[in-house]
Amino acid sequence: MVQPNTNRKLYTQNGISIATFLGGPAAAGHLIRLNYRRLGKEREGLIALILGIIATAAIFAGLFSLPESTVDNIPQQLIPAIYTAIIYGIVQWLQGKELKAASEQNAPFESNWKAAGIGGLWMLILGGVLVTYIFAEQGQADQDINQKLALIDKNEQQALRFYSIDHANTPPEVQLELITNGGINHWEENLSILQDLTTEYELEPEFASYITNLTTYNQLRLDTYRLIQKSILEGTDQYNDQIQEKNVLIADIMTQMGAL
């Protein structure tokens, strides 16, 4: 066993635990490294710091992978309490003998206040990293959502071209091509995009309501185009009443979305 250098104070288990609760495993790795350096074990100290940072990153990665509703239901102090208890045991395993020897020699230890200060410093560092990450993620999410909405708008404009043709003088096969590949396909793609928006992102209530209305609008358009498609294929006007009903519903939903 390496004897502690009495000229270099060690951090106690309690001090390291306090720092861990405040600054996570990274703070623990920092203090464990300082202890190792003062015990002449530079390599072990560097490994401890690296593992502490990795453990902290893993914890936050795990939390970010969970649904927001699940994270909200986790007691605020539970996770810090768990990893603090684990770190306490790890310190006992790694440095318990050296800390006990220093205590038996009445060697002075670093104050718990200093350990808490280092933990607080790591808390600030991690907080800054998290804020930066959250803003970056939100910015990327906003960009992705805007791109999806732009594609929805483009698809709509393409699909609505069907109404700009002269139906009386346009051959049925051309109308079918427009209604199917130039219309139905676009409405179906829009519905798929909207489904992705509702499942991939945590939407604000007002925007979520808009997406719901937009989904209804695209579904009504799709239903209408399928009825028109059947009318052309069958050479009949028996679906006109149903088409008109759909058009009334489309006008209503557009009014709700403020599109009229």
Per-residue pLDDT tens over the stretch 223-255: 999 999 999 999 898 999 999 999 999 999 988
102, part of any domain: yes
23, part of any domain: yes
Rounded mean pLDDT, 94-123: 92
Same domain, 27 and 127: yes
140, part of any domain: no
Give the residue numbers spanning the domain of 55: 13-134
> Quick check: helix, strand or coil at residue 219?
helix
CB 5 within 8 A of CB 106: no
220, part of any domain: yes
Mean pLDDT (the chain, rounded): 88
Last residue of a domain, one of 95, 119, 134: 134
Same domain, 17 and 129: yes
Q: What is the pLDDT of residue 136?
A: 76
CB 184 within 8 A of CB 175: no
Same domain, 72 and 119: yes
Same domain, 19 and 123: yes
Same domain, 124 and 68: yes
Q: What is the pLDDT of residue 100?
A: 92
Same domain, 126 and 170: no
Same domain, 82 and 181: no
Same domain, 95 and 194: no
Same domain, 23 and 123: yes
- Name residue 109's beta-bridge partners: 10
Same domain, 239 and 183: yes
For residue 6 the two structure tokens come to 């009495």
Same domain, 100 and 203: no
Domain count, the chain: 2
Least confident among 40-49, 186-195, 200-209: 200-209
Class of residue 242 by CB neighbours under 10 A (exposed 0-12, middle 13-18, buried 19+): middle
Rounded mean pLDDT, 189-216: 90
What CA–CA distance (Å, rounded) separates 210 from 213?
Answer: 5
Last residue of a domain, one of 134, 154, 179: 134
The number of angstroms, rounded, from the C-alpha of 195 to the middle of its chain's C-alpha atoms is 17
142, part of any domain: no
189, part of any domain: yes
Same domain, 111 and 172: no
Q: What is the pLDDT of residue 7?
A: 58
